């Protein structure tokens, strides 16, 4: 453990280089420097044959740095170090597997040791080395740790829908991710999104959520049915990647209360006439008007053309009226009237009619 990284041939060569150059004429200097620099790089490569391992983590979360090693080194001590890997640069070793915010675990069967760095801060980004302690030179693998903010995204797609309706969240992705798993979660924390996914592409239907991946179009669609106000809020569409952070797009869903231009409670008397006012937006003057009865607008029964109910236009005031000439007890209930036969939410009047006996005359 005494000679860590300083055992690398590079440093010795660097000292040699400085002395050597001191003696050379300035004309030759550039070439020699290049040559020696190349030798130096080459020597270092011998000790880190695997190449650089790139790892990315989220600020505030943890990251796993996994390094493999060759057969025969199972029982050797492993460690993670920073900077030049001097003794004071060693962060954690398998001989003491927990230190500060570092944990190390050696999977001897897979021959991979994994260091977990928790509570990531911006200063944790940079170069690390995975080391295996040996007699003489240790074995090193370079690790580059990058950090990303645990939030998303600069652009947010806004969607509005209504209680009781269904809505599709359309998530576009790049064509190279055709075969990657897709998922969606609440909130806007990329680090926990997959773990808390409402639905993933492995599982097309989950309660009110359905996920369809259109690989040709490069979008996946999440259909949420029976929306409630609780469904309002932020969502992240995620595409899972293997060795890099997943890619996300952000959606803001607003579920509006289902009603209406107006909600009216009205009382009528058996045998008497009654007039109901149905306001509508001015731009709907030429649209078909309708009246229906039932607790839910989606399933209410159309009574527009029943002779007992007469619709009388009142275009100039943006309302029409429904006249019932002789009220019956059975007329009590919930009515909806509006000016849009497509029955989109919002442009309705909800009328709750109660019908009472006439008390004044006998």
Ligand X SMILES: *[C@@H]1O[C@H](CO)[C@@H](O)[C@H](O)[C@H]1NC(C)=O
**Contacts to ligand X from residues 102-121, by CB under 6 A:** 116
314 binds ligand X per the rule CB under 6 A: yes
63 binds ligand X per the rule CB under 6 A: yes
Choose, by CB under 6 A, the member of 33, 157, 223, 269 that binds ligand X. Answer: 223
347 binds ligand X per the rule CB under 6 A: yes
Question: How many chain residues are in contact with ligand X, going by CB under 6 A?
Answer: 24
Binding window for ligand X (CB under 6 A); candidates: 58-66, 79-87, 140-148, 180-188: 58-66
Give min distance, CB of 38 to ligand X, in A. 37
346 binds ligand X per the rule CB under 6 A: yes
Choose, by CB under 6 A, the member of 21, 198, 302, 332 that binds ligand X. Answer: 302
Looking at the Cβ atoms of 97 and 277, the one nearer to ligand X is 277
Binding window for ligand X (CB under 6 A); candidates: 8-16, 89-97, 310-318, 352-360: 310-318
Looking at the Cβ atoms of 312 and 329, the one nearer to ligand X is 312
Give min distance, CB of 107 to ligand X, in A. 9
225 binds ligand X per the rule CB under 6 A: yes
299 binds ligand X per the rule CB under 6 A: no
Give min distance, CB of 155 to ligand X, in A. 22
167 binds ligand X per the rule CB under 6 A: yes
Residues 6+ apart with CB under 8 A from 272: 326, 327, 358
Which residues bind to ligand X, rule: CB under 6 A?
62-64, 116, 166-168, 223, 225, 228, 230, 277, 281, 283, 302, 304-305, 312, 314, 317, 319, 321, 346-347
């Amino acid at each position: 453990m005494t000679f860590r990284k300083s055992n690398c041939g590079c440093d010795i060569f660097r000292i040699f280089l400085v002395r050597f150059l001191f003696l050379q004429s300035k004309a030759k200097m550039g070439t020699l420097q290049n040559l020696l620099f190349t030798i130096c790089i080459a020597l270092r490569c011998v000790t880190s044959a695997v190449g650089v391992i790139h790892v990315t983590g989220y600020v505030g979360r943890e990251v796993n740095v996994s390094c493999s090693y060759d057969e025969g080194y199972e029982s050797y001590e492993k460690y993670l170090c920073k900077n030049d890997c001097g003794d004071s640069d060693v962060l954690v070793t398998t001989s003491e597997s927990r230190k500060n915010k570092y944990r190390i675990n050696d999977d001897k069967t897979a021959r991979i040791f994994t260091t977990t760095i928790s509570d990531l801060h911006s200063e944790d980004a940079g170069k690390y080395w995975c080391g295996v302690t040996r007699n003489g030179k240790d074995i090193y693998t370079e690790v580059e740790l990058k950090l990303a903010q645990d939030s998303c995204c600069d652009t947010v797609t806004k969607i509005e829908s209504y209680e009781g309706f269904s809505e599709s969240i359309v998530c576009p992705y790049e064509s190279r991710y055709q075969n990657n798993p897709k998922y969606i979660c609440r909130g806007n924390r990329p680090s926990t999104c997959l773990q808390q996914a409402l639905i993933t592409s492995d599982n097309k239907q989950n309660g009110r959520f359905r996920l369809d991946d259109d690989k040709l179009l490069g979008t996946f669609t999440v259909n949420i049915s029976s929306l409630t106000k609780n469904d309002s809020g932020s969502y992240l569409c995620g595409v899972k990647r293997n060795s890099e952070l997943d890619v996300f797009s952000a959606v803001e869903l607003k579920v509006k209360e289902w009603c209406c231009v107006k909600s009216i409670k009205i009382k009528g008397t058996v045998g008497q006439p009654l007039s109901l006012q149905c306001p509508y937006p001015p731009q709907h003057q030429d649209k078909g008007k309708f009246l229906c009865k039932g607790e839910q607008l989606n399933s209410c029964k159309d009574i527009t053309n029943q002779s007992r109910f007469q619709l009388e236009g009142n275009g100039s005031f943006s309302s029409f009226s429904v006249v019932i000439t002789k009220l019956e007890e059975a007329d009590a209930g919930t009515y909806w009237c509006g000016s849009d036969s497509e029955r989109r939410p919002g442009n309705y009047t909800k009328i709750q009619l109660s019908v009472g006996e006439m008390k004044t005359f006998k």
